[in-house]
Amino acid sequence: MSAPRTVSRTPPARSGPPDAAGSPAKEPPRRPGPRRRRGAWWFTPWLYLLAPLVLLVVFTWLPVVNMFGYSFTDWDGISPTRNWVGLENYTDLFTRPQLFQVFWVSLFYLGASVVQICAALYFATVLSFNTRLRNLFKGLLFFPYLINGVAVGFVFLYFFQPGGTLDTVLGWFGAGPHLWLGDPHLVNTSLAGVSVWRFMGVNMVLFIGAIQSVPPQLYEAAALDGASRWQQFRHVIAPSIRPIISLSVILAISGSLSVFEIPFIMTGGSNNSETFVIQTIKLAFNFNKTGLASAAAMVLLAIVLVVTWFQRLLFPDERVEQS
């Protein structure tokens, strides 16, 4: 990879007399920056970047490249030999329905993230205005995000037990019990509900932060014009916090594709609840199909990148204003 090679290659090239006299002479008159006199050798920045770049390459770039390579082989992850199989893994993925079915599961989580973002927008708006016990509700709704994933899994495993908490509470209102996790048609809805419970608060806190940095004059003007709450939201709040909404949408999409923890802890992926990442992990580490698992991961990565690219295409300038 290019970056670290530069690091290791360049110092010997000119490392002879790296003294102060050499660098100011060849420095172009760019901004009157701090790079002057002592301690500003040309390789100084690379000293700071050495560790970050090594880590970046070893733990992000190298895996992506290796994985791309593995995806065309039949490697089992252990044996020293691997055979080139071309696109076989990819055709496998898209033609075998039991491998492809994980994409349908993601749709449940995608639906859940729509609910999650709408709820977060509603509560953020409500809690940004005059409301009693504002901070209490804000803390209450945010707290689930801080809870350990395994603990969340256990809390809801108990919650959804036959005759457990949910059935008890629904019983008070006259609704009958359901097999929340045992019913293949219901399991993904239940699990997606858990992820709304867990992540709604963090979206809400982000939205509240964004709403509070909107210039107050805008609300004043809207209020003077007699705008209703909904009109204020529609014409003042929503446009002002659009960047953070679109960021949340993109995170929600890539999040719903890479769901792992909750279904793995609660059901182990049984009963129709297997997600893409659970399947990949099982393929790689339980069935030793590293080649196939790599192809699956490449597909997931490609989808996430395409979605991100598409989002930037639609909302091009949004990061710029934040930096």
Partner 1 sequence: MTVLSGPAIERYPRPRGRSTPLRSRVAVFLKYLSLVLAGAVVLVPLAAVLLTSLRTGEEMAGGGALAAPDNWLNFHNYAVAFTDGHMLRALWNTTFILFFSVLGTVLIGSMTAYAIDRFHFRFKKSVMTAFLIASLVPGVTTQVATYQIVNNLGVMDTRWAPVLLYMGTDIVSIYIFLQFIRSVPISLDEAARIDGANSFTIYWRIVMPLLKPAVATVVIIKGVAIYNDFYIPFLYMPDDNLGTISTSLFRFKGPYGAHWEVISAGAALVIIPSLVVFLALQRFIYNGFAAGATK
Burial string for 108-137 (b: 16+ CB within 10 Å, else e) reads: bbeebbeebbebbbebbbebbeeeeeeeee
What is the smallest separation between the CB atom of 35 and partner 1, expressed in angstroms? 6
x/- site string to partner 1, residues 89 to 108, per CB under 8 A?
--------------------
Stretch that binds partner 1, among 50-58, 88-96, 100-108, 176-184 (CB under 8 A): 50-58
Stretch that binds partner 1, among 32-40, 86-94, 98-106, 182-190 (CB under 8 A): 32-40
Q: What does the alpha-carbon distance between residue 95 and residue 134 come to, in Å, rounded to a whole number?
A: 52
Comparing CA positions, the residue from 171, 159, 168 lying closest to residue 197 is 159
Q: What does the alpha-carbon distance between residue 224 and residue 219 come to, in Å, rounded to a whole number?
A: 8
The CA-CA-CA angle for residues 310, 313, 319, to 5°, reads 105
User: How far from 278 is each of 92, 218, 261, 272, 282, CA to CA, in Å?
Assistant: 18, 47, 9, 12, 6
Binders in 285-314 for partner 1, by CB under 8 A: 285, 290, 293-294, 297, 300-301, 304-305, 308
Comparing CA positions, the residue from 33, 31, 303, 262 lying closest to residue 160 is 262
Close Cβ partners of 204 (under 8 Å, ≥ 6 residues apart): 119, 120, 123, 124, 127, 138, 141, 142
What is the smallest separation between the CB atom of 60 and partner 1, expressed in angstroms? 4
Stretch that binds partner 1, among 1-9, 86-94, 105-113, 179-187 (CB under 8 A): 1-9
Q: Does 181 bind partner 1 (CB under 8 A)?
A: no
Q: Which is nearer to partner 1, 65 or 114 (CB)?
A: 65
Q: What does the alpha-carbon distance between residue 175 and residue 126 come to, in Å, rounded to a whole number?
A: 30
Q: Does 174 bind partner 1 (CB under 8 A)?
A: no
x/- site string to partner 1, residues 137 to 166, per CB under 8 A?
xxxxxxxx-xxxxxx--xxx-xx-x-xxx-
Q: Which is nearer to partner 1, 85 or 277 (CB)?
A: 277
C-beta neighbour count of 102 within 10 angstroms:
22
Tokens of 311: 């989002």
Q: Which is nearer to partner 1, 183 or 220 (CB)?
A: 220
**Which of 93, 245, 247, 252 touches partner 1 (CB under 8 A)?**
247
Comparing CA positions, the residue from 109, 94, 96, 97 lying closest to residue 273 is 109
Stretch that binds partner 1, among 89-97, 106-114, 119-127, 175-183 (CB under 8 A): 119-127
What is the smallest separation between the CB atom of 52 and partner 1, expressed in angstroms? 4
What is the smallest separation between the CB atom of 228 and partner 1, expressed in angstroms? 6
Binders in 51-90 for partner 1, by CB under 8 A: 51-53, 55-56, 58-64, 66-67, 70, 77
Q: What does the alpha-carbon distance between residue 241 and residue 216 come to, in Å, rounded to a whole number?
A: 14
Total number of residues binding partner 1 (CB under 8 A)?
Answer: 115
Binders in 219-238 for partner 1, by CB under 8 A: 219-220, 222-223, 226-229, 232
Binders in 266-285 for partner 1, by CB under 8 A: 277, 280-281, 284-285
What is the smallest separation between the CB atom of 245 and partner 1, expressed in angstroms? 11
Between the CA atoms of 217, 222, 224 and 230, what dihedral angle is there, to the nearest 10 degrees? -140
Q: Does 173 bind partner 1 (CB under 8 A)?
A: no
Q: What does the alpha-carbon distance between residue 76 and residue 87 come to, in Å, rounded to a whole number?
A: 16
What is the smallest separation between the CB atom of 100 and partner 1, expressed in angstroms? 17
Answer whether 182's CB lies under 8 Å from 270's CB.
no
Close Cβ partners of 264 (under 8 Å, ≥ 6 residues apart): 278, 281
Q: Does 199 bind partner 1 (CB under 8 A)?
A: no
